[in-house]
A and B are shown apart, each in its own frame.
Chain A
Amino acid sequence: MIPEIKIAHDLRHLFGPARDQGPRPTCLAFAASDTHAGTRPGWDPLSCEFAFWRAQQRGRRPPSSGATLGHMLEALRLDGQPYEAGWPYLPATPVDVDNWAPPATPGPMFGRDGHEGVASFAAAQAHLANSVPVMLLMMLSPSFFTPAVHGVVVAAPGEVPQPAVRHAVVAVASGEVGGEAAILVRNSWGEGWGIDGHAWLTEAFVTPRLFALASLGGDVVAPLYSKAA
């Protein structure tokens, strides 16, 4: 049976098609970059590669590991990021870390302030009601990998969050699924996942899995990137 879906607040018009991180550990860079691009006028995707590179530099973490939320927000605020065309996303994790660097002139840089908020379903709903997309950091569980045909993630009985699988998505709409409060998330697993890369998560699904939430504030002036710096 297809559950009835009622949409209360929908910010999908702020975004372009869902993007694809491929096999790399860059979900947080995609969530942050897309949230950033979605809060700018028009849709012009920003460079995930640059945001991830800066966050890993700040955290002294290799490109083969995930990023931390603190370093990602710091990178957006202090370093900014160029358009996607300024440093296009690399399909594979760089092997030669020493040569992992942006082109000499990636173009204009865009900085954005960001804040970590209360990690709750209600807080995510409130942001969406204020037309603010929000990053959700969640522990996944098996049902998340296979949303139902109508785009709703339905947990199997007894399914519990897996603390090791820490993933980031963007909440882009809120509403109800089958009478239960729900949020529509934009993933970075391509358009083949869920419905065009999006899926509905109910409050019962989100609450035990959500461990962090962040939103972006106003523009900040970011320094122009130069290789010499």
Chain B
Amino acid sequence: MAQDYAGAVRAGAMAASRLHRDLGIRDASDGAGGAIDVFAAIYQLDLPLMLRPLKGLMGAFLNDPCPGILIGTGWRMNIQRFTAAHELGHCILKHKPSLDDEDQILRRVPLTVDARNDYQETEADAFAVGFMLPKWLIVGHCARQGWRTVDLLRPEVVYQLSLRVGASYEATCRTLERYGLVNVDQRDVLSKTKPRPLKVELLRDYQPANYKGDVWLLTDRDQGARIEGSRDDLFVVRLEERSTAGYVWNFDELQTSGFALLRDVRESDDPEGVGGPVARRVTAAPEDGPRGRLELAERRPWQPNAPIAKLSLDFDFSGPEELGLSRVERRQMLEAA
């Protein structure tokens, strides 16, 4: 156990890095651009994990009779993921059993001094941040999306980054500061923006029943990506379309893949020109937590075999985790059966 705050942060971050290396996580993550699957790591380590309603608790780490993790149901996926990473940190760092409530995890600003001064929670937080949000993952997403450092001052960019790394908007802002990608004042400005107005802006005139779900903006930059969201998420696909040349994106597959089409518009920022490309903007919602591969193509309807552009991505909108085993463990058991 670390004896001071700086030592605890260092120990947690180093343990996260070691686990990335031991499980080959960086190699597996490169290219696809998704989040680090905390639950898959727990499964890979053969650590018992159970999801259940935990009155007043978000998660717990137990070590008697053997190490194991409990995660509360009923939370948003990014919170479940952070809690799971925090509990995994307790386990990897061989901590004492820990019952973690909202005060422990949500209300405490990550990486601040542990109130009990035993630095166990600080270490677990540092592990969780290092494990879920390593700098290489953030840099990889920025490279894929074409975001420069200056773009990270835009709340809408940081929000989309937070979805792709599977963390909350606030945690992502703090992590950007920790890595020196924004300074403390810039982080403060970012933190003042809340996700709701960003969602409203993305959805334009479509009004969902509530704004609890996240809103993904998918573009050609997400080609080949892995998108992991929740059942109540919405997404907006925005693609350049050469419709005045007869080429249109076909979104029929979206519906056959289990999504409801909510809005479909074509937009242009060139009111004078004739024949220029337009932005096709489709808003959709997953129905029944679909999971699979989506392949869209831009082609002339009378020339179906000659697409001029494609967008394919793997998606999983079956989150958050529900009662019982984790989704990854259930899938592994089903595949083995």
Is B302 on the interface with A (CB-CB < 8 A)?
A: yes
Residues of A within 8 A of B246 (CB): 145, 187, 189-190, 193
- Asked whether A26 lies within 8 Å of B268 as measured between CB atoms, the reply is no
CA–CA, A21 to B245, complex, Å?
7
- Asked whether A25 lies within 8 Å of B301 as measured between CB atoms, the reply is no
CA–CA, A64 to B242, complex, Å?
11
Residues of A within 8 A of B65 (CB): none
CB distance from B236 to the nearest CB of A (A): 16
The interface of chain B, by Cβ under 8 A from chain A, is: 242-248, 265-268, 270, 272-279, 300-303, 308
- Asked whether B274 lies within 8 Å of A167 as measured between CB atoms, the reply is yes
CB distance from B110 to the nearest CB of A (A): 44
What is the size, in residues, of chain A's interface with B at 8 Å between Cβ atoms? 33
CA–CA, A102 to B242, complex, Å?
25
- Asked whether B302 lies within 8 Å of A167 as measured between CB atoms, the reply is no
CA–CA, A110 to B86, complex, Å?
75
A-B contact pairs, 5 of them (CB 8 A): A23-B247, A25-B277, A65-B277, A164-B267, A193-B246
Name the CB-closest residue of A to B278: A164
Segment touching B, from A66-74, A171-179, A201-209: A66-74
Sample of 7 more A-B contacts, CB < 8 Å, known A162-B265, A166-B275, A189-B300: A23-B242, A25-B273, A28-B274, A64-B277, A65-B270, A66-B270, A193-B300
Residues of B within 8 A of A26 (CB): 245, 275
Residues of B within 8 A of A190 (CB): 246
- Asked whether A23 lies within 8 Å of B275 as measured between CB atoms, the reply is no
CA–CA, A28 to B245, complex, Å?
11
In residues 1-50 of chain A, which contact B (Cβ within 8 Å)? 21-28
Is A192 on the interface with B (CB-CB < 8 A)?
A: yes
Is A132 on the interface with B (CB-CB < 8 A)?
A: no
Is A115 on the interface with B (CB-CB < 8 A)?
A: no
The one of B242, B266, B303 in contact with A25, judged by C-beta atoms closer than 8 angstroms, is B242
The one of B268, B273, B277, B302 in contact with A67, judged by C-beta atoms closer than 8 angstroms, is B273
A interface: dominant SS: loop
CB distance from A60 to the nearest CB of B (A): 12
Residues of B within 8 A of A163 (CB): 268
CA–CA, A21 to B242, complex, Å?
11
Residues of A within 8 A of B301 (CB): 145-146
The CB with the most chain B CB atoms within 10 A, among A21, A61, A66, A146, is that of A66
CB distance from B272 to the nearest CB of A (A): 5
Known: A65-B270, A66-B270. A165 touches B243 (CB 8 A): yes
Known: A165-B278, A192-B302. A68 touches B273 (CB 8 A): yes
CA–CA, A61 to B303, complex, Å?
30
CB distance from A137 to the nearest CB of B (A): 6
Residues of A within 8 A of B270 (CB): 65-66
Is A168 on the interface with B (CB-CB < 8 A)?
A: yes
- Asked whether A145 lies within 8 Å of B248 as measured between CB atoms, the reply is yes
CB distance from B114 to the nearest CB of A (A): 55
CB distance from A196 to the nearest CB of B (A): 12
- Asked whether B244 lies within 8 Å of A66 as measured between CB atoms, the reply is yes
CA–CA, A39 to B19, complex, Å?
75
Is A75 on the interface with B (CB-CB < 8 A)?
A: no
Is A140 on the interface with B (CB-CB < 8 A)?
A: yes
CA–CA, A26 to B244, complex, Å?
9
CA–CA, A65 to B272, complex, Å?
10
CA–CA, A32 to B203, complex, Å?
39
CA–CA, A140 to B245, complex, Å?
11
CA–CA, A26 to B146, complex, Å?
29
Residues of B within 8 A of A21 (CB): 245
CB distance from A53 to the nearest CB of B (A): 14
- Asked whether B272 lies within 8 Å of A140 as measured between CB atoms, the reply is no
- Asked whether B245 lies within 8 Å of A68 as measured between CB atoms, the reply is no
CA–CA, A21 to B277, complex, Å?
13
The one of A24, A27, A193, A212 in contact with B302, judged by C-beta atoms closer than 8 angstroms, is A193
CA–CA, A146 to B242, complex, Å?
15
